[in-house]
Structures are given as structure tokens and as C-alpha cells.
Amino acid sequence: MTIDHAPASAGAVLSPGDRAELELRHRKIREAMAEQGLDVVLAYGPAWRRENIRYFTDVTPAGSAALVVFPAEGEAVAFSTRPSDLAAFTAQGWVDRARRLDPANPAGLGVVLEELAPRRIGIAHHELVPLVLMETIRSAAPGAEVVSATTLLDTARLVKSEWELARMRRSAVVCAAGWEAFVDVLEPGLPEYRIVAEVEARLKNLGAEDNFMLIASGRDEVRGMTPPGDRLLEAGDLVRTELTPKMDGYWLQICRSAVVGKADDGQRKSFDLFNEAVEAGISVVRPGITAHEVAVAENDVFRKYGYGEYCTSQYTRVRGHGHGLHLDETPIIEGNHTVLPENSVFIIHPNTYTPLAGYHVLGDPVRVTADGCEVLITTERKLFETGDVA
């Protein structure tokens, strides 16, 4: 028997804080909808992009696809391809109705849209919607204009509430614990995957829902990071990581590098270069700064010392990125003129290769404050060394 509908749970009573957060989000989205003349927003979430579903429901669904129908007036309706998600949606209490999304025959979605009879529909992640869903949407709302609402949702999520910041600060504590586990285990002969196993164990023990992590070990020949392999650490290796746990739906990242043993001159000079770039980025942060301006501040440090070519796409991707319900939001990169308002959160990380010591990783997540920024992690920004190694 297929479960295609889950009624609201009798026990789904929101706390005052959750209720206030939900009302804040609905108000933000509806104000943006009114400005853009949208009658309905559809938040589509394929398996790898669930941030907008979580924003509306406070649930990360397990199904292969999910969707939320959010009208300008009335109740939101959540959909998922997995029946067990339906009870999770309504039990959380952020939506009252949840229905099964049949990928082959999404008639239930059509019924909801027919009831709303929208004239203009905005779809977040419009570019990812499969053809069968788009045909259902157009059939259920004939003549309606369908536009992208990806930017609308991205903009709404950019500014974090105090409710969200409290969750992100819990992520920051777990970030620090994950890095401690990383450094504690380093020794010659240890395979990379064992490092990640120790970190994962620490994070999950602290309640992390997930962790995105890249790693690299070696000397100046290292050009980037990957998932962990079976390479064995050697004395003198620089071991780099982006470590990104998710707590209560919110991702936060720490970027650090450590030496197995004592650092050599090249590794120390590399750290000094990257630390100066991080500090330069932090120094310009204020409400209204753009992602472009933060990236320029970081890159200008490399240019000053003759390493400007290593800030290009040949060697690196971004100089940081936004944090929140998605782990890699607004890119901090030259040419991106997105304004970073107060209470936006992003990491400043000038990660790239240079010939000084190979690929180097260093960065801190920050919150934009009224007069600058707050660094969200407490881990010291230094080149970590494990001590003398025979």
C-alpha cells in the first residue's frame, strides 16, 4: 500500500522560538513574492540540494527528490518521493500537509496547483527540475508564467536570524572538536582514511548529522585536495583539510593545515602568506561589502608577494563561500558583486597552490556584524606541528 498523504501530527506543537522563526521566514518570502508578483513559490530539492526544503520544513528529507509548494496565501505543502519523509515533515510541525511525490506520475502536485490557480509561479532550482515535473506544473496551471525563484530563496537565506546563528555556533564548537581529532591522530605511517575515520567518529559522537571533508598530504607537489585515500603519512608532510560538519541542518567549515613533525622554512613562509591573506579578508568585512571586495583583499596579498597567478582558476576555485543550510553558498570570488549584509555568514579561505609548500589550506568562518565581523570558531589560526618525529 502506497502512503500518499500524511496529516498533521497531534504532537506537532512548535516552541515559541520555532514558531517565531517560521513566521519570520514566511514573512520574508512573501514580501519578496509580492515584489516579484509571484502567486506561488515551488522549492524543488533533488538529492544533493536540500537547503530550500529544510528552510521551509526544518527537515532534511531522505527521498531522492522533494518539493515544497508555498503560496502567497494559505498553507505550505511538502512533497517527497519517500513515504517516511511525509510523517517527518508533519511531525516537525513546520508544514501541515505532506504528500507523496511520484516521479513517474506526480498527479498529487498537479491537484495542489490546480486548487491554487496561480498566474505566476517561481521555482527555486528551476534549472534542476526534471521534465516530468515541469510538464505537470504547466498542465496544472495552464497559461501561468513560470520563472526562476532560485535567487529569491538564496537571498532570503543569506541573512541569518538569531535562531539560525545559535545553531551555527553549535556547528562551530563541533568544528573545533573535529580539528582537535584531526591533529591528535597524525603520525608517520597513518593512512589518510584513518584520519577521516577518527574525525567522523568525533563529529558523530557530538551529534553531527553529516560532514563534508577533503584532505591532502605530502610536500610541495600537492596541487589540491580530494576524498581520503590510502596514502601513508610521512615525516615532514603538510596535511591539509576542509572540515565541514552539519549540525541541526547548518554547515560550518574550518580550514587548517598541520605538519607531521616540525615545519620547514617553506611551510612557515607559506603559512605566513596565507595568514596575511585571511587577515586581509577579515579586515574589510562590514555590512554592504561585496564578495568581490573580500576576494580582492585576499588576492592582493598574493599579488604583493609575486604569487598573483596562483589566485586564478588554473590553481584555485574561490577565496571562500557562504555557509548555512547549504555547505557552499555565495562564492567569495572576484567578479561576484553579491552584497554581504549584516548577519550573513561565510568562510574566508584563500586556499590554493603555491611553490612555497604546495597547496595550503587556511580559513575561518565569520558573521558580518554592524561594525565588522565575528570569527565563529575558536581554533587558533597557526601552522600546527605534531612535534619532533624521528
Domain ranges of the chain: 5-157, 162-385
Mean pLDDT of 106-110: 93
Cβ–Cβ < 8 Å for 231, 172: no
pLDDT for residue 2: 41
Set of cell numbers at residue 2: 502506497
The reply to whether 162-385 shares the fold of 5-157 is: no
Which pTM was predicted? Answer: 0.93
Q: Encode pLDDT of 302-345 as tens digits.
A: 999 999 999 999 999 999 999 999 999 999 999 999 999 999 99
Q: Encode pLDDT of 194-221 as tens digits.
A: 999 999 999 999 999 999 999 999 999 9
Set of cell numbers at residue 304: 604583493
pLDDT band at residue 81, thresholds of 50, 70 and 90?
very high
pLDDT for residue 263: 97
The reply to whether CATH 3.90.230.10 applies to domain 162-385 is: yes
d(CA 258, CA 18) in angstroms, rounded, equals 40
d(CA 201, CA 241) in angstroms, rounded, equals 16
Cβ–Cβ < 8 Å for 287, 342: yes
Q: Percent of the chain, pLDDT > 90?
A: 94
∠ CA 19-20-22, rounded to 5°:
65
pLDDT band at residue 283, thresholds of 50, 70 and 90?
very high
DSSP class of residue 37 equals T
Residue 3 has pLDDT above 50, yes or no: no
- C-alpha distances in angstroms, 334 versus 63, 168, 320, 328? 36, 26, 11, 16
Q: Considering only the top CATH level, what class is 5-157?
A: alpha beta
pLDDT for residue 4: 58
d(CA 273, CA 176) in angstroms, rounded, equals 23
pLDDT for residue 7: 58
CA 306 and chain centroid, separation: 32
d(CA 207, CA 178) in angstroms, rounded, equals 12
Mean pLDDT of 362-370: 98
Residue corresponding to grid cell 590553481: 315
DSSP class of residue 309 equals G
